[in-house]
Amino acid sequence: MLRFVLLLLLPCSLILASRLAAAPLDLKFASYNVRYENYEDQGWRAWPTRLQRLIATIRIMDPDVMGVQEALHSQVADMCLSLPDYDFYGFGRDDGKTKGEYAGVFYRKERFQFDREDGGIFWLSATPEIPGSMTWGNKIPRIVTWLHLRDQKTQRGFTVYNTHWDHMHQGSRVESSKLITQRIDDRRHRSQPVVLLGDFNATEGNNAVDYLAGRSKEWTNTLLDPYHKLHPQVSSRRTLHFWRNNKDGWAKVDHILVSPPVQVKKAAIIYAPDGKTPASDHYPVSAHIVWP
């Protein structure tokens, strides 16, 4: 009798596993350059003053996973205290520990499982494992933080990359794009989806961005730009506003790119409400996607 019960349980468990594997992965992503804490920023621009505005903006986006750029260690600590329903993974770019700006990732702690052996940091240079390395003309270390998350609802996994490219040197941005594609191609979970978040300091039409986003034929495993897919005709797409709260112009340097096939439900630049001051010198971007 016991053998009969076990034989019944085995195919049932296989059916359940197959259903979980086939369940769509419905996720909301965000990318937010939070502006480093600069003590020359006074009044409404000061970090203690704008922190709660920034948290309120994040709550409006309600992301499952969010990449942040420019956050210093103390800012990460403040955000972690203000976002208790999220865990954080990231490192300082200067030493791979706590020094310098982070390009880290917040993710919902109740929804995702993360094995810290399945994540890390690399530098955007010819020596990517050497902390603080710079070889492509940039004068500031540039990094990528990556981690593999497993959705506990569906038991499906995906890999997150978050980056902040150089603001001055185009050669560095091009080489950064190529290195990221190599790491995506060589990732451990190659059959699972990928999302790339970040401040690229480059807009659509820039070779480094187009290399990633399917507008170049040089990389076959291309990613998709949810914002461009939903809003191809929008001419004013600005995220970098230099504290001016200006929505006009072609300055969308903040990006979310995802691997196809994918359904894009929503993609937006999150502007400050009318009459309100922004929480950073960048507007964040968000995307709601479904991986089938």
Mean pLDDT across the chain, nearest whole number? Answer: 94
| Position 129 pLDDT exceeds 80 | yes
Classify domain 29-291 at the CATH superfamily level: Endonuclease/exonuclease/phosphatase (3.60.10.10)
Q: Determine the Cα–Cα distance for residues 279 and 17; give it in Å rounded to an integer.
A: 44
Percent of the chain whose predicted confidence (pLDDT) is above 90? 88
What are 251-272's pLDDT values in tens digits? Answer: 999 999 999 999 999 999 999 9
Indicate the burial class of 229 (C-beta count within 10 angstroms; 0-12, 13-18, 19 or more).
middle
154 vs 9 pLDDT, higher one: 154
Domain ranges of the chain: 29-291
* Alpha-carbon separation of residue 270 from 13, 44, 83, 118 (angstroms): 43, 19, 19, 31
What mean pLDDT do residues 10-20 have? 51
The pLDDT of residue 237: 94
Give residue 7's pLDDT band: very low, low, confident or very high (50, 70, 90): very low
Which residues lie closer than 8 Å to 191 by C-beta, 6 or more apart?
A: none
What mean pLDDT do residues 111-124 have? 96
Pick from 241, 268, 248: which is nearest to 35 by CA? 241
Give residue 151's pLDDT band: very low, low, confident or very high (50, 70, 90): very high
Q: Is 227 in contact with 268 (CB distance < 8 Å)?
A: yes
What mean pLDDT do residues 42-58 have? 98
The pLDDT of residue 227: 98
Does this model's pTM top 0.75? My answer is: yes
